[in-house]
Structure formats: C-alpha cells, structure tokens
Structure 1
Amino acid sequence: MTGAKITAIGSYVPARRLTNADLTQMVDTNDEWIVQRTGIRERRIARKDEYTSDLCTAAVQDLMHRYDKKMDDVDMVLVATSTPDFTFPSTASIVQHRLNIPLSAGAFDLSAACAGFVYALHTAHSYVASGMHRKVLVIGADTISKITDYNDRSTCVLFGDGAGAVLVESDGQAGGFKGFHLGSDGGGGHHVYRTGLSHTVNDVEMVDSQLLVQNGREVFRWAVRTVPDGVKQLLGKAEMSLQQIDWFIPHSANMRIIEPICERMGYPIEQVLHSLVYFGNTSAATIPLALDLGIREGKVQNGQNLLLYGFGAGLTHAGQLVQLDLAVQTGEPTTL
C-alpha cells in the first residue's frame, strides 16, 4: 500500500447566467421565494451545443494551466456524471481523447448522482493506494439543465451546470486521504429519478418524461437524517472529532438542507463551503466547485482537514476526509 494525495484542481462553468429574475419570466415564482427556500440567486446554463464532455475538458485545462500539470502520464480517467453526452461511449473516453491522454490509460464514467464526485475520489484513492495506478484524473460534471423541466418550479429553480477536476497521485508518505464512509438506500430510489429503459422503480410507476423528477420533501428528510449519522461514523473510523475539521463541504443541494444538517451535527455554518448561490445545484460538480472556490478565495490551505460529503439519487451518500497537497500555482485560474 502507498499514499495518495490531491495535487491539483480546476473548474469550469458555462458563460450563460440564469438569474432568479429570468425564472420569473418562465414560471410562477419570484426572487424572494427562491432565495428564502434555496439560497440560490443564479445558475449557469450550458449552450445547446455544449455538453458534459466540454465542461470536463475545460475544467481539466484550467487545472493544467494553474498547476503546470501534464496529462501524458495519467493512467486512469474517472468522470462522475448523471448527464453523459451518450450512454456510450463514456464521457471519460471522450475526455481522454481530447486531452491526448495515453491510449494505455483506463477511462470510465461513474454514476452515483450528487454523491458521484466523492465516490470517484474514493475509487481513485483505492486505485492509487493499491499501487495499481499512479496518477488518476477525477472529474465531477453535469449539464443538469438539459434534463430539467422548466415548467416545474419546484425543480427548475435549483439546477445548473458545471464541472470540477482534481488529480490524485501516488505519495510515498502517509497520503492525504484520512477516512471515508459510503452508503445507499435503494428503497428510496423512486424519490429522485429520470426514466430510462425501465419505467418502474420499487414497484412504483415512474413519470416517463425523460426529465428529472424529484420528491424534494422526501429527499430533504432522508438527507437531514442520513448525512449527520454518516459523518459521525466517518469521524469514528478516522478517530477524529468535528472540532478537528477545518471545512465541511457538503453537496450544494439547497441551503435549507445544509443548514439543518449542520444544526444536527453541531457544526458552525461559517465553516461550510458551498457553490450554490451563483451556480445552483450542479449535481456531481457541486463539491469540487465549492472546494475550488474555497481555494481561490484563500480559505482552503494545504494540510487542513476537509470533510466532503455527497448525497443524492439512489439514494446514495459518500463522505471523504482529506488533506490537500496542492502544487504551487503557476498560472491564474479561469474566471468563473
């Protein structure tokens, strides 16, 4: 076994802004209602000809520019997404080709919805720590706007598009991955879904719209109950306390979910990083976007204890306790 560490990060969001004022022209809503119930003011929307692979590529290019990293020795590409360009080929394979990553590198997509980035990080850590791989590119990206029902005000106010990427590399030292906790409650799968080949989950008939459908009340109840318990178990495994966590980075689903989670945990909201105010819920991209915003703002530093926790459709959840070991930045980050 060897250590593994996160050495570089990059992010990207589309140029188009969809503000709360814009949404008032589309559905019966208003800025005060949206902010009060979600905390969101804007979200970014991909162009009609802009897809998840494009967002992934741009996020990795930001990473490469900022940290002077090359892709010619990457030996695995993981893309966490619920909105791949195609069912197949994988988005990871498309990204591998565009970035001239060696043909000997593995590439696949990982589907765990809003918990996807943390699941992908866990997978990358396992690959590197086992010695099977030395440099893994991990990307969390989604273009949720392409599957959003803009006639449904309960969901269309939430979602946006974005991508975040990190490099996980081998480290002869102890490494930066300090603990994890995973879980799934498939019995709640019918609370967040998009229909596919089957239209039935848990003997419940789904609405066959090919758009995202969510029972927000049930997801809220599940998340507020599940995440604090998962965090407790993760910290127990790592033999750490909440007081040792410098920053908590949960999935940026909705401030009305994050706040009661922190209240139940007894964790100060001032030490929470999120990306929802100007980017909305970007599914697998929310956690890397929030992490990168913290780095750009000078809040997150190498060696700090960071608690990442994703949760969403499945119903899946995943927590990871990490310390960054970022290389010195040599280039300015892309403007978000």
Structure 2
Amino acid sequence: MNSVVISGTGLYTPKNSISNQELVESFNAYVNKFNQEHAEAIRKGDMEPLQESSAEFIEKASGIKSRYVLDKEGILDVDYMHPHLPERSNEEHSIQCEMALVAAREALEEAGRSPSDIDAVIVACSNLQRPYPAVSVEVQAALGVEGFAYDMNVACSSATFGIQAACNAIQSGTAKAVLMINPEICSGHLNFRDRDSHFIFGDACTAVLLERADLAKVKGYEVLGTKLQTLYSNNIRNNFGFLNRCDERGVGAPDKLFIQNGRKVFKEVVPMVSDMIQAHIAEHGIGAQDLRRLWLHQANLNMNVLISKKVLGREATHEEAPTILDTYANTSSAGSIIAFHKHKEGLDEGALGVICSFGAGYSAGSVIVRKL
C-alpha cells in the first residue's frame, strides 16, 4: 500500500478584519435600537430586553480577539448585520473558487508541483456556495487539473475527513496526488444579532496537497494514520437548505443560521475528542509523551486547553498546541489546517503530531503525522 505525505499547504486570508471592539459597538447599537423600538412591550413584560455584549466577555468566553471576513461593512451595518456578497454571473468564478485558487496555488508551490501533477480535487467545507455543479469541479477547471473532483461536507471536521478520503485514493492507486481544499465563508451562516454566538466565526480557505511518498519532491509530513468518528447531535445545527424560503436579505428564521447549545457542546465534545486521540495514538503504539505538536480545531480556546491537557496529561505549551483562534476566530474546517500551516515548521525529523478537528454532527477526525 502506498505511503502518503502532506507535501504542501496553502492559506487564503481575507483582507478585512473585525476586532472584538468593532463587533461589540455594532452589536450594542443594534441592542439599544431594538430595546427602544420595543420599549412598551418590554415595560409590560411581554418581551425580554436584549443584553449588550463586551470585548472582554468575548475574549473570556472564546479566546477570540478578532476575525477575518470577506465583507466588513455589511456585518457592522446595524440595519443589515450580514456580509454583503453580491451574486456573481455563471461566467465568473464563484467566491469559494476564488478563495480556493489562492490557497491551492500556495500549496502547489510549496510542494514543487503544478496542476498537471494533480489527479483529484476535493473541496471539503461546512457550507457550499451551491449544490451543483460542484465547487470542486469549478476549482479543478480553473486550475487546469485533469482527473476528477467532488465536494464533501462534514461541518468543522470536513478537512480531516477530506484528508482521509485523499489518503484512501492515493493508497488504493486511484490517484497519485490530491488537492484537498477548505473554502469557509463562515460569516455567511452566523447570526450577528445573537449575543451568545455573534463573535464566533471568521472566513478563510486552506489547502492541503497529499501525494505518494515515493513521488514527492519535498520532505513534508508522512500520514501515519487517520481516525474518524461521528455521533448525531442537535447541539450544533443549521437548518438552511434548498427547501427553505428566505427574506430579501437571503436570511430566514434564526434556526436557518448557526445555532448551538454551547455548554452541552463543551461537556460532550471535549471527552469525545480527547478519548479519540488517545485511542488513535495507542493503536499506532504512540504514547502521549511522544507527541510534539497538537494542531487542534480552532473553535474555543478553553476547549483546546482542556483537550490537550487530557491527551498529554499536563498543560500544553503554546508551541505544543498552537492557536490561531485569537486572530482568525473559528473558521470551521480550515481552523486546524491554518494552525498546521502556520506552525508546522521547527520540528525535528521524526517528530510526531496530530491534526484534529471536531464540530457539528458531532464529527471528529484525527490525523497522525510524522515529520520527514
């Protein structure tokens, strides 16, 4: 069976960033406006007043300080509070394709590869811009890749599930090299009027190039094994779909956007993920003391601290469990790959690490890698 390596990674970061303070100023302006407009109902007790947010509350709850977004103006507009991303003609690249091309080309350059070397493209993310034609096929055509392409969605775990799919194709001989890409426009499904979640997400796109180890031009990371797990839960949900009707802003009822029961997610996902990682490394004869780095899903700093502590049996250093959450926020499936992309250097040959994602589904994926 063919060995697989990660030979290149790429990242697209939007130009616009929104700080916690900017987001809070917009949110609180909306809260004050809402409470004034419904003052009589609130006074009678027929309606609860909305509560203001604060930058301190956001950072304490999540570890997030800012986030990159495709559109800043629409999100901060008190009367709109949604990214303004106009539809494009069918002859133009979709937004996700545009993001994907930047990340994919960086991954190709790092690996010393060209599109002609690639056999397959997988676009794996939480929200696809359209059902068909597949965004991956659009990206494939834009890059000039022959072979095949397909889209997949396993929410925040889409990247690790996509890595396993790529590994399967390479190990079986279906492909020699696969581009796995995660274009996440998370701001599009976020309710910026919800105090408990308006700060969570940002936008970004990552790309991972996986190929046969014996054909790779550069030393990268060998994939030693993958492990996936799913467990059905309603605690993270988005009901938007083609059967739903929307208003003129493209937004439906609140449950057509991101909703979650944060406390239950924390309580249930942390042990699920830490147990999965521990079981996975044990299957490969690896002890916690052998791990040099954990590239965890970037959803919540407190979750990551606790998961890494459970896996390692002690507090992890920033170098051992790097975070990009403070500046990128939660970018869904792209998060763990951003952490890997930005913090994969500086390890000695033979060093072991785990790329791990977790999120809605529940879904979780673990990828054990070794530095070559």
Answer yes or no: same fold by TM over 0.5: yes
CA distance in 2, matches of 1:100, 1:300: 34
CA distance in 2, matches of 1:241, 1:154: 38
Code of the aligned partner of 2:135: T
Offset at 1:301? 5.6
Q: Is the 8 A contact 1:194 1:213 kept in 2?
A: no
Offset at 1:91? 1.6
Offset at 1:113? 0.8
Question: Of 33, 40, 64, which residue of structure 1 is paired with 2:64?
Answer: 40
The one-character-per-residue Cα deviations of 1:276-325 (angstroms, maximum 9, x if unpaired) are 11000000100111111114xx4356542120111111111111101245
> In 2 relative to 1, CA 89–302 (structure 1 residues): closer, same or farther, beyond 3 Å?
farther
CA distance in 2, matches of 1:57, 1:277: 25
Offset at 1:46? 1.1
Matched position secondary structure for 2:204: strand
Code of the aligned partner of 1:96: Q
Q: Is the 8 A contact 2:236 2:258 kept in 1?
A: no
Quick check: 1:59 aligned with 2:103?
A: yes
For residue 73 of structure 1, what is the aligned residue in structure 2?
A: 117
Quick check: 1:119 aligned with 2:161?
A: yes
Code of the aligned partner of 1:54: E
Name the Cα RMSD after superposition: 2.1
TM-score (norm 2): 0.79
Matched position secondary structure for 1:150: coil
Question: Of 272, 287, 293, which residue of structure 2 is paired with 1:247?
Answer: 293
The one-character-per-residue Cα deviations of 1:63-92 (angstroms, maximum 9, x if unpaired) are 234444201121110111112121212221
Quick check: 1:279 aligned with 2:328?
A: yes
CA distance in 2, matches of 1:171, 1:260: 34
TM-score (norm 1): 0.87
Q: How does 1:263-274 map to 2 (within 5 A)?
A: 263-265=309-311, 266-270=313-317, 271-274=320-323
Offset at 1:140? 2.1
The one-character-per-residue Cα deviations of 1:228-255 (angstroms, maximum 9, x if unpaired) are 1101110111111011111001100010
For residue 211 of structure 1, what is the aligned residue in structure 2?
A: 257
For residue 84 of structure 1, what is the aligned residue in structure 2?
A: 128
Gaps of 5+ in 2: 28-51, 72-84, 87-93, 216-220, 245-251
CA distance in 1, matches of 2:355, 2:175: 23
Greater relative contact order, per chain length (Cα 8 Å cut-off, separation 6+):
1
Code of the aligned partner of 1:33: F
Matched position secondary structure for 1:314: coil
Matched position secondary structure for 1:95: helix
CA distance in 1, matches of 2:149, 2:14: 24
> In 2 relative to 1, CA 4–67 (structure 1 residues): closer, same or farther, beyond 3 Å?
closer
Gaps of 5+ in 1: 200-205, 326-336
Quick check: 1:319 aligned with 2:366?
A: yes
Code of the aligned partner of 2:102: A
Code of the aligned partner of 1:17: S
For residue 18 of structure 2, what is the aligned residue in structure 1?
A: 18
Matched position secondary structure for 2:53: coil
Matched position secondary structure for 2:256: coil
Aligned residues: 313
Instruction: Indicate the structure (1 or 2) with the bigger Cα radius of gyration.
Output: 2
Q: How does 1:124-273 map to 2 (within 5 A)?
A: 124-172=166-214, 176-186=222-232, 188-196=233-241, 209-265=255-311, 266-270=313-317, 271-273=320-322
Offset at 1:62? 2.1
Code of the aligned partner of 1:184: T
Q: Is the 8 A contact 2:7 2:210 kept in 1?
A: yes
Offset at 1:51? 2.6
> In 2 relative to 1, CA 207–267 (structure 1 residues): closer, same or farther, beyond 3 Å?
farther
Code of the aligned partner of 1:51: I
> In 2 relative to 1, CA 230–171 (structure 1 residues): closer, same or farther, beyond 3 Å?
same
Q: Is the 8 A contact 2:235 2:264 kept in 1?
A: no
Offset at 1:96? 0.7
For residue 91 of structure 2, what is the aligned residue in structure 1?
A: none
Q: Is the 8 A contact 1:192 1:215 kept in 2?
A: no
Matched position secondary structure for 1:141: strand
Matched position secondary structure for 2:367: strand
The one-character-per-residue Cα deviations of 1:188-245 (angstroms, maximum 9, x if unpaired) are 135333333578xxxxxx9664211111111111111101110111011111101111
CA distance in 1, matches of 2:316, 2:355: 14
CA distance in 2, matches of 1:223, 1:207: 27
* Percent pairwise identity: 24
Query: Which runs of structure 1 show a deviation greater than 4 angstroms over 4 or more consecutive aligned residues?
Result: 206-209
Quick check: 1:292 aligned with 2:316?
A: no
